[in-house]
Amino acid sequence: MIVGGGPTGLLLANELGLAGVRVVVVERDPTRSRQSKALNLQPRSAEILDWRGWLSLMDEYAFANVEWGHFSGLPLNYGALDSRFAYQVGIVQADVELALEANLAGFGITPRRGHELVRIDSGLAPGDEQVVATVATPDGEQQLTARYLVGADGGRSTVRKLSGVAFPGRDGNAPATVCDITLRSKPAGVAESWTMPEFDTERTDFAFLLPLRDGVYRFAFSGVDQAGISRDTPITEAEIQSVLTRSYGPDIELDEVRSASRFTDASRQVNEYRTGRVFLAGDAAHIHAPLGGQGMSLGLQDAFNLGWKLAADINGWAPAQLLDSYHAERHPVAAAVLANTQAQSVLTAPHPDARIVRDMIGRLLELPDANLQVAEDISGLAIRYNLGPGLGHRMPDLDLGDGTRLAEHARDGLGLLLDSSPDRRFAPLAEDWKTRIRCVTVDPDALPAAAVLVRPDGYVCASSDDPSAISTALTQWFGAPE
């Protein structure tokens, strides 16, 4: 059972559906939100979607490929990244959801909208063998039973609250507003394509217009007049028009407000991603300032890490501790994102000290190696799980000698055993795990060892010239031989 029909929940449902797992997705909102919310897929998220062949689902909705990122408005050169997707894919969250939900229908799964979790009756205690949850539906309360429940229901997660999981961190210091609008008139100079946001730490306010699709603009603003306003205070057209006029002059005129919401730079993360048979993912597990555009991608990668592990357990072959590795691997990744977004928040503060530090960081980011390191961090390409020396990094999407790419062999969610030995001595191992991995022949120059084992989520978990070492790793990650 997945609670939450946003990108995290929908990608997780697709991963489970691909593995033949029966899934129920419940979503409190009766209709899909019109709000664009997140605006991009970072390079690593583009890679994981391509690993399954699902990135192409986004083609009709994407409106930009952006070869730059930013760290608190300081430019990052994404074109230098070692990836097929050395750019951000400009696409609004609502369209990512649309594409993932359409794909989910192919597995016979349709999110149940207007269904709200109200109680978790069992599944939180260590000895519980199932989750029993009560859901309010348009036809009354319904009790659902599942092997596992995943809360992917956002920063105000009901699952997290019902599970009694603390959400430590800090409250927001910088309230802001974001809205999707159309304009009746606009002056020259209003952006017609994606441009680098400019943060002036000598000013006490901020306003930024970014064109999306079909004449819609994302308008984000903050300032002293936002201080003390509750997140639940209605956002009026007069408020938006006032900021537009102040920022762009008298010739800009608001036409329609499609959606609007308030947010802060609050930063919080749960200490445990698992309680009994209940897991947390995406914003339910961590929230942070939206600086650098990392939020949606962080949740998608949570789902990609958790999906194959849940499927392995439900399908009966998960080795011991596999499910616990979800927290061990993903908690540090989110903690690093919280740290870099807090640092970005400091650099945008209207304070003389922030200006001094910002100028120094800006000079450092003019160095190609420094710029590349931060770009890899923000893009998600630098993620390395603690799986042992030389392991835990993402596997590059190699061009293979038969005209295919490595990603094309990962479409069905299996692990990959890459064999570059001249006698193909690792291929027989694949027969012992034939429903869980696939053996792929690779040029020896492309690998650090004769064999490399890649998990279903695309991360390297073994590398060796010795078949016995690879066999041990197969048992560790893919269970006992079949």
Least Cα distance to 274 among 319, 326, 309, 314 occurs for 326
Q: Give the pLDDT confidence score for residue 201 in this predicted structure.
A: 64
Put the strands of the sheet holding 2-3 in their side by side order. 112-113, 25-27, 2-3, 149-151, 278-280, 274-275
Q: What is the CATH number of the domain that holds 201?
A: 3.30.70.2450
Give the predicted TM-score (pTM) of the model. 0.96
Q: How far is 383 from 368, CA to CA, in rounded Å?
A: 20
Q: Give the pLDDT confidence score for residue 224 in this predicted structure.
A: 66
Mark whether 244 and 211 lie in a shared domain. Answer: yes
Give domain status of residue 287, yes or no. Answer: yes
Mark whether 189 and 320 lie in a shared domain. Answer: no
DSSP 321: T
Q: Give the pLDDT confidence score for residue 198 in this predicted structure.
A: 67
Least Cα distance to 165 among 327, 371, 8, 357 occurs for 327
Mark whether 441 and 313 lie in a shared domain. Answer: no
Q: Are 78 and 67 in contact (CB under 8 A)?
A: yes
Mark whether 82 and 126 lie in a shared domain. Answer: yes
Domain boundary residue, one of 212, 247, 263: 263
Q: Give the pLDDT confidence score for residue 142 in this predicted structure.
A: 97
55's CB contacts (< 8 A; 6+ apart) are 46, 49, 89
Q: What is the CATH number of the domain that holds 155?
A: 3.50.50.60
Mark whether 357 and 414 lie in a shared domain. Answer: no
Q: Give the pLDDT confidence score for residue 197 in this predicted structure.
A: 65
Backbone angles phi, psi at 212, to 5 degrees: -105, -120
Give domain status of residue 393, yes or no. Answer: no
Give domain status of residue 396, yes or no. Answer: no
Per-residue model confidence as pLDDT tens digits over 270-308: 999 999 999 999 999 999 999 999 999 999 999 999 999
Mark whether 460 and 355 lie in a shared domain. Answer: no
| Residues comprising the chain, all counted | 482
Give domain status of residue 399, yes or no. Answer: no
Mark whether 253 and 373 lie in a shared domain. Answer: no
Q: Give the pLDDT confidence score for residue 204 in this predicted structure.
A: 66
Mark whether 233 and 247 lie in a shared domain. Answer: yes
Domain with 13 in it: 2-168+268-379
Give domain status of residue 202, yes or no. Answer: yes
Q: Give the pLDDT confidence score for residue 426 in this predicted structure.
A: 97
Output the tens digit of pLDDT for each of the chain's 482 residues: 999 999 999 999 999 999 999 999 999 999 988 888 999 999 999 999 999 999 999 999 999 899 999 999 899 999 999 999 999 999 999 999 999 999 999 999 999 999 999 999 999 999 999 999 999 999 999 999 999 999 999 999 999 999 999 999 999 888 889 999 999 999 987 888 877 666 666 666 788 898 998 899 999 988 767 777 878 889 999 999 999 999 899 999 999 999 999 988 899 999 999 999 999 999 999 999 999 999 999 999 999 999 999 999 999 999 999 999 999 999 999 999 999 999 999 998 888 898 999 999 999 999 999 999 999 999 999 999 999 999 999 999 999 989 999 999 999 999 999 999 999 999 999 999 999 999 999 999 999 999 999 999 999 999 999 999 999 999 999 999 99
| Cα separation values, 16 from 82, 130, 314, 477, Å | 29, 17, 10, 18
Q: Give the pLDDT confidence score for residue 174 in this predicted structure.
A: 80
Mark whether 278 and 330 lie in a shared domain. Answer: yes
Mark whether 33 and 130 lie in a shared domain. Answer: yes
Q: How far is 238 from 324, CA to CA, in rounded Å?
A: 50
- Quote the number of domains for the chain: 3
Q: How far is 396 from 406, CA to CA, in rounded Å?
A: 8
Q: How far apart are the first and last CA of the chain?
A: 28
Give domain status of residue 28, yes or no. Answer: yes
Q: Give the pLDDT confidence score for residue 203 in this predicted structure.
A: 66
Least Cα distance to 197 among 213, 176, 183, 166 occurs for 176
Mark whether 297 and 161 lie in a shared domain. Answer: yes
Q: How far is 95 from 180, CA to CA, in rounded Å?
A: 14
Q: What is the CATH number of the domain that holds 445?
A: 3.40.30.120
Give domain status of residue 398, yes or no. Answer: no
Give domain status of residue 91, yes or no. Answer: yes
Q: Which two tokens stand for residue 282?
A: 């995406």
Mark whether 160 and 208 lie in a shared domain. Answer: no
